[in-house]
Amino acid sequence: MNGLIPRSNSSAIIVYCTLTAFSVLAWADPPKRPVQVRLRDNGPMAARVRILASDGVEYAPERTILRKTKRGESYFYADDSFEIHLPSGPARVYVSNGLEYVPQSVQLDVGTESKLTVNLKRWINLEPRGWYSGDSHVHLHTGGPYAVTVADALVAARAEGLNFVNLCVSNNVGDDIRDADLITGKPHALSTKKQLLVFGEEMRSSIYGHMQFFGIKKLVEPQYTGFDDTPNRNDFPANYQMAAEACRQGGLVTYGHPMFAGQPLPFGEDQTAGNAAARELPVDAMLDVVQAVDLMCYNSDEDLSAQLWYRLLNCGLRLSACVGTDALLDRSTDPMGGCRVYVRLDGSLTMDKWLSALAKGRTFVTNGPVLRLLVAGREPGETVSLDRPGHLQVDVQAESHLPFNRIEVIVNGKVASEKVVSRDAGSTQVQVQRFEVNIPIERSSWIALRVRGADHPNVIDGPVWAHTSPVYVHVNRQPIRNAEDAQYFVDWIGRLLRVVAARNRYANVEERQQVEAIFRRAQDQFRRRAE
């Protein structure tokens, strides 16, 4: 053979190499083509964008964070314009800017078109009416995989059409608190006239509940309690102490994700188990160190949270309706502002005015519909005074580009009047419903408006849902009272005291007794209202 390769074998090698080269070419990614996209509405806009290309893959521009919702849909934030490389063929571009704009879906033929302008369209503009939106519960840094800055939070706020973002400093799973030095009691320097970024705090207890602090001047400590394998393993102090300190600093306190699905009462058989529901909320509301409740959150049940809130209102406690999504900017979560609180201001937006109006209850919460409620000409957060029982005229308005099917006037937690409406689920027309109703008032009461609808692709979390804060009605100067609901919280606090005893995670007896004394003080006040 003289070291030569036989002809037949040589041919085989040549064929093999040819097939390999062909296979590489066949399996190579198709070339990507650049596309320039501009976002507009009377000028440059920021927006949340999702792009589904012809190959069924979701794309983002280079060096851009591609997040994913719970539904598995990817999205990224863009400001003004961006370039993206896509395979040839039809691509679908989805663009949105919060609840006041109609989401856009635009077809793009990559290869034929290299430029695209998406014009965002408002269906409503609430700023001229004095309504400014907010999210009480957003995290910038939680140790997640994405590197984000305050500038990224500003783009996200603009893209979601949010006016006030409470960036909550918190721990993640241990003693890893970040950004505490950014809490100043003032909007961050990157804030704009329409977007206020304010660093606040989420104080977390593993058994008492999680609170958000707005407008505080410095970190309230301890920032968390009851977490295993951390310096703050014990259940001390009670949340009351931190809430009182936040109030002392001039801040506002709300409880996050109050109730979870499947937990109409957040106390299980294992009394030592952790629970992030708002177990201490009744205590702190009665002791006047909490001003609001997050009725809506991606991690809670709106109807159960509302029922808890109704009971507290029935005990004469004034608590504003608020929203905190619990969105995490350095991780893949649903975006902030998918549900939000709107706060009614007089004049232009400032942090102090927004927080003051929130504390007064000049609010409604929503994941789509816009609500208007007047009771004898009074708005949510205000009080109507009657010398004797009588009837009050209630004026109702609900507007939405998402379909809703039920409008309910709520009096003391019960539906006093309702209107069932219908609309084609595929309709793109703005739905507007207005009506008046006379409500009999026999005793001091509260009146609010609730709107419900079905699930919808454009609702990020849960079915269509919205609720106003109450208008309060005092008859003959008597307080709002409901003995049954007051007794409910006497029993609730009794369960909480049993949790304290079962866990018994305190440095000494004195610490436990201090917590128990706070709880019993609130329990005694509920007991007097139950008489």
Cβ-contact 353, 131 below 8 angstroms: no
Cβ-contact 317, 285 below 8 angstroms: yes
- Residue 247 host element (H or E): helix 239-248
Phi, psi for residue 413 in degrees, rounded to 5? 90, -5
- Residue 393 host element (H or E): strand 390-400
DSSP 8-state code for residue 158: H
- Report the pLDDT value the prediction gives residue 461, as an integer from 0 to 100: 85
Location of structure tokens 């992030």: 276
367-481: CATH, from 3.50.50.60, 2.30.40.10, 3.30.300.20, 2.60.40.10: 2.60.40.10
Q: Which residues pair with 525 in a beta bridge?
A: none
* Calpha distance 325→247 (Å, rounded): 22
Cβ-contact 251, 242 below 8 angstroms: no
Count the residues in the chain.
531
* Calpha distance 26→19 (Å, rounded): 10
* Calpha distance 194→185 (Å, rounded): 18
Which residues neighbour 252 within 8 Å (Cβ) at sequence distance 6 or greater? 213, 214, 215, 246, 291, 292, 355, 358, 359
Q: Work out the angle between the directed axes of helices 509-530 and 483-503 (0-180°, nearest 10).
A: 170
Topology agreement, domain 33-122 and domain 126-364: no
Number of other CB atoms surrounding residue 319 within 10 Å: 21
* Calpha distance 282→411 (Å, rounded): 20
Superfamily of domain 33-122: Carboxypeptidase-like, regulatory domain (2.60.40.1120)
Distances (CA, A) of 16 to 23, 173, 281, 449: 11, 56, 73, 75
* Calpha distance 492→263 (Å, rounded): 14
Cβ-contact 194, 163 below 8 angstroms: yes
What ranges in 97-238 are assigned the alpha helix state H?
A: 150-160
Cβ-contact 409, 433 below 8 angstroms: no
Instruction: Write out the DSSP string of 512-525.
Output: HHHHHHHHHHHHHH
Give the three-state DSSP class for 365. Answer: strand
Distances (CA, A) of 93 to 33, 90, 267, 337: 15, 10, 46, 21
* Calpha distance 431→444 (Å, rounded): 33
**Given CA atoms 171, 176, 181, 182 in this order, what sign does their dihedral have?**
negative
Phi, psi for residue 26 in degrees, rounded to 5? -65, -35
Report the chain's terminal Cα–Cα distance, integer Å.
111
- Report the pLDDT value the prediction gives residue 28, as an integer from 0 to 100: 55
Cβ-contact 240, 279 below 8 angstroms: no
Question: Which segments within 206-246 are labelled E, that is strand?
Answer: 209-214, 224-225
- Report the pLDDT value the prediction gives residue 202, as an integer from 0 to 100: 98
Give the domain ranges of the chain.
33-122, 126-364, 367-481, 486-530
**Both tokens of residue 320?**
């504003």
* Calpha distance 177→408 (Å, rounded): 43
Please, what are the averages of pLDDT over each run of 10 residues along the chain (531 residues)?
35 36 49 95 95 97 96 96 97 98 96 95 97 98 96 98 98 85 98 98 97 98 94 96 98 98 94 96 98 97 98 98 98 97 97 98 98 98 98 98 96 98 76 97 98 94 96 98 98 98 97 98 98 95
Distances (CA, A) of 186 to 214, 458, 495: 10, 34, 39
Which residues neighbour 416 within 8 Å (Cβ) at sequence distance 6 or greater? 409, 410, 439, 447
CATH topology of domain 126-364: TIM Barrel (3.20.20)
- Report the pLDDT value the prediction gives residue 23, as an integer from 0 to 100: 41
